[in-house]
């Protein structure tokens, strides 16, 4: 199993960070071009809630279905039920530094499928592309929480 970790600070309260991340439209805001998210179904955030979406990588559609667990005011975990990876478990944790600053920690455990089936995910979901993606997400999160 591979592990990716990323953390960053935002100038927003823990409550604002939680509300932002529990909003079903957040997926569309956190992916850089040429990625586009088409949400099919998104339960209100809660234990066992489901998000079902297609991640368009340019012209290539990748269907993804995740079940949420460990849901609390301090974060949650997305567990891929079906999708492009052999395993994808993404934990989002929020920690209040003070009333106006929150630390966001991202922890991902993942495995690619072997052979040809995992070729695309090895290109898009390995350490360097994930670092680029989460650097964009840091920028987008800060932007949205500043203006939102």
**Could you say which architecture CATH assigns to the domain 2-147?**
2-Layer Sandwich (3.30)
What are the pLDDT digits (tens) for 44-65? 999 999 999 999 988 889 999 9
What are the pLDDT digits (tens) for 65-93? 999 999 999 999 999 999 999 999 999 99
**d(Cα 143, Cα 11) in Å, to the nearest integer?**
10
CA-nearest of 144, 142, 133, 148 to 32 is 133
Task: Look at the pTM and tell me if it is higher than 0.85.
Answer: yes
**d(Cα 14, Cα 8) in Å, to the nearest integer?**
13
């Amino acid at each position: 199993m591979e592990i990716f970790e990323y953390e960053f600070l935002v100038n927003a309260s823990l409550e604002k960070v939680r509300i932002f991340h529990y909003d079903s439209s957040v997926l569309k805001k956190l992916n850089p071009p040429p990625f586009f998210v088409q949400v099919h179904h998104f339960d209100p955030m809660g234990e066992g809630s489901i998000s079902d979406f297609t991640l368009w990588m340019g012209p290539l559609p990748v269907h993804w279905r995740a079940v949420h667990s460990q849901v609390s005011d301090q974060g949650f975990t997305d567990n891929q039920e079906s999708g492009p990876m052999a395993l994808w478990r993404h934990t989002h944790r929020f920690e209040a530094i003070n009333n106006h600053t929150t630390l966001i920690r991202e922890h991902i455990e993942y495995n690619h499928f072997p052979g040809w089936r995992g070729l695309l995910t090895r290109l898009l979901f390995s350490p360097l592309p994930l670092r680029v993606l989460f650097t964009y997400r840091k920028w987008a999160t800060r932007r949205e929480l500043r203006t939102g």
